[in-house]
Amino acid sequence: MNYQKILQEIKDEVKPILNKGKIADYIPALGRVNPSHFAMSLSLFDGRTFGVGDVEHKFSIQSISKVFTYSMAISHYEKILHKRVGHEPSGNPFNSLVQLEYENGIPRNPFINAGAIVITDMLNSKYKEKTFSKILDFIKSVNNNQNINYDKEVASSEAEFGYRNMALVNMMKSFKNITNNIEDVMDIYFKQCSISMSSSELSRAMLFLANHGIDPITKARFLTSSQAKRVSSLMLTCGHYDASGDFAFRVGLPGKSGVGGGIVAIVPEHMSICVWSPGLNSKGNSLAGTKALELFTTKTGLSIF
């Protein structure tokens, strides 16, 4: 298959909608991104990569970080993790408070904000003051790249305007589902959302999930195949908030989006993909990014169904 040609066709086809989405502006640091950016990258098991657009431009990974932190937590807390976080789609926006109240502070899944905050709390219990550097180390190792860091301006903006996330963590603390100091947990959570990566880095970083938990290039094992199955299953059912069903319907691949405009997806046993376009649809997922992935699976016939 001529992947480079297919990517170029996709880039041309989504061009008219690049400026139609809305940039995340809940913090000023994200609102300044140029909406006409577009990048799409593929990583294959044999080390070949393909890409179009701004593939080396770093952007804020935001909720894509939840895939990495859930992967870290599931390998340490496999038996008990899902007593504190569910594994059902929420059908609610990523930062919703309502469901959390009537479900007694147990978030529906690790990919909505509340669930990701509980996961960060679990990692904080294990790694204490080293937690954020352990998260960065994990991402560096799945990416086989040391050049990954977070954007301090985005992190402090997240903290300054994080009223709703603070409400979520306080409510969960009142239900005793947060065990560490709230300020410590949120400092780590805001930093993990503020990690900057490019689409070529993110697509490389997802290869282990496409290959049952083992990096197909370095052969390093990060998860058991059962754990990798769980992470990928939740990406399929919960990776796009209350538009997860729509994403599965259109694209047919496990994927995870972030409000920075990135989406990662995996084609099990074949490849991993990242697309980036900062304009978002009404559900907070990249508008052109979702379309690009839909075009990719339509043109190549590569989906899990």
Phi-psi region of 133 (alpha: psi -120 to 50; beta: other; left: phi over 0): alpha
Which of 71, 90, 109, 113 binds ligand GLU (CB under 6 A)? It is 113
Other Cβ atoms closer than 10 A to 187: 18
Residue 148 engages ligand GLU in binding (rule: CB under 6 A): no
Measured from the CB atom, the residue of 216 and 258 that comes closer to ligand GLU is: 258
Residue 255 engages ligand GLU in binding (rule: CB under 6 A): no
Largest CA distance in the chain: 54
CA proximity to 46, closest of 270, 197, 293: 270
Other Cβ atoms closer than 10 A to 160: 12
Which of 165, 211, 244, 277 binds ligand GLU (CB under 6 A)? It is 165
Cβ proximity of 260 and 112 under 8 Å: no
Catalytic residue among 189, 194, 286, 291: 189
Residue 158 engages ligand GLU in binding (rule: CB under 6 A): yes
String marking each residue 70-99 x if it binds ligand GLU according to CB under 6 A: ------------------------xx----
Catalytic residue among 41, 43, 60, 63: 63
**Catalytic residue status for 118:** no
Phi-psi region of 252 (alpha: psi -120 to 50; beta: other; left: phi over 0): left
Residue 286 engages ligand GLU in binding (rule: CB under 6 A): no
Measured from the CB atom, the residue of 43 and 113 that comes closer to ligand GLU is: 113
CA 249 – CA 272 distance, rounded (Å): 19
The amino acid at residue 145 is N
Residue 63 engages ligand GLU in binding (rule: CB under 6 A): yes
Measured from the CB atom, the residue of 193 and 266 that comes closer to ligand GLU is: 193
Residue 62 engages ligand GLU in binding (rule: CB under 6 A): yes
CA 288 – CA 278 distance, rounded (Å): 8
- The residues annotated with a catalytic role in the active site are 63, 66, 189, 241, 259
Residues that bind ligand GLU (CB under 6 A): 62-63, 94-95, 113, 158, 165, 193, 258-259, 284
